[in-house]
Amino acid sequence: MVNIGIIGMGRIGKVHLQSITYHVKNACVKAVADPFMNEETKEFVRGMDVGKIYGDYKEILADPEIDAVLVCSSTDTHAAVSIEAIQAGKHVFCEKPVDHALDKIQKVADALAAHPQCKFQVGFNRRFDHNFAAVRRAYDQGKIGEAHVLKITSRDPEPPNPAYIKVSGGMFLDMTIHDFDMACFLTDSDVEEVYVQSAVLVDPAIGEQGDVDTAIITMKMANGALAVIDNSRRAVYGYDQRAELFGSKGMAATSNDTLSSVVISDHQGVTGEKPLFFFLERYMESFSEEMRQFVDACQSGGEVPVGIHAGMQAVKIGLAAKKSVEEHRPVKISELD
């Protein structure tokens, strides 16, 4: 049994607490910590049979019963808390991004190098989605052949509050960062070059914050494949999450998940369900699966499925995308080294 402490009990912290409690048999959440925890959250935590509730996360790091910690606090704390946890000898699951600054991510990598017994996994949950995992499985099995073209569609059902832009790092480091990681995952390759065409078409207030809400991103992968991502902060029909990998032997493509597969045909036309509304509905099982694999790595001593390299690469691509928008040119990832 892996005893876990969760640092940060906002929305994603609660998701992981539920996933572990209900769907991960070989793990148990023993403690949570959050300095801003209200009574409603405390009641939620107690309802999950968590015995220890702290205001200071250092209490979790000092607890000898805790084997692993989940870093679900605000993004600006991810790297520092991860390093403290590693130095305390804990395995770490860190929500994305590890940080917005590459030098801070490198400090986490350095801490891991000094404590090789500690496992460190980054929370790119979409790798564990049943649809995307099936595309990668087909690629690994040689059914697609050499990867030639990857197309990713990723559109949110509604835009965030513009005030969120300031703390999130903007669209490329908050929303598209998942798609950057997905491009690397589905082609089994890093990115070499990024070019972005972008606009503010959804909410002028987002543009006033210095961000964009619509983008077409083209990338050259290290293995020679080409990738295209199209992003929008608002798709009126729901959460649009699709991918297509085309190669020398064939193609694998995914559709959106819907509440049911029912299609109604009548005198008015042929209609079906809209996509599931947002990420909690669409990706709930993926959160459970990524946690199962993290716990298995902690127990077995094996490799985690998404390590610090993936965490670094996704942020590099995001920063390159922002640079491409600012300078109106293709940007090589090597420029950020």
The full set of domains in the chain, from first to last, is: 2-118 (3.40.50.720), 127-282+314-336 (3.30.360.10)
Mean pLDDT calculated for residue range 279-289:
86
> What is the overall mean pLDDT for the chain?
96
The answer on pLDDT for 278 being more than 90 is no
Contact 60, 7 (CB under 8 A): yes
Confidence of residue 275 (pLDDT cuts 50, 70, 90): confident
Half-sphere exposure (CA, 13 Å, Cβ side) for 19?
24
Average pLDDT, integer, range 217-245: 97
Confidence of residue 165 (pLDDT cuts 50, 70, 90): confident
> pLDDT value at position 282?
77
Q: How far apart are CA 220 and CA 235, in angstroms?
A: 27
Q: What is the sign, positive or negative, of the torsion defined by CA atoms of 77, 78, 80, 85?
A: positive
Of the chain, the percentage scoring pLDDT greater than 70 comes to 100
The pLDDT assigned to 26 comes to 95
Residue type, 96: K
pLDDT at 334 over 80: yes
At residue 49, the pLDDT reads 93
Question: How far apart (Å, rounded) are the C-alpha atoms in residues 207 and 202?
Answer: 9
Of 29, 52, 184, the closest CA to residue 122 belongs to 184
Residue 273 is classified by DSSP as P
Residues 6 or more apart whose CB falls under 8 angstroms from that of 145 comprise 247, 248, 249, 250
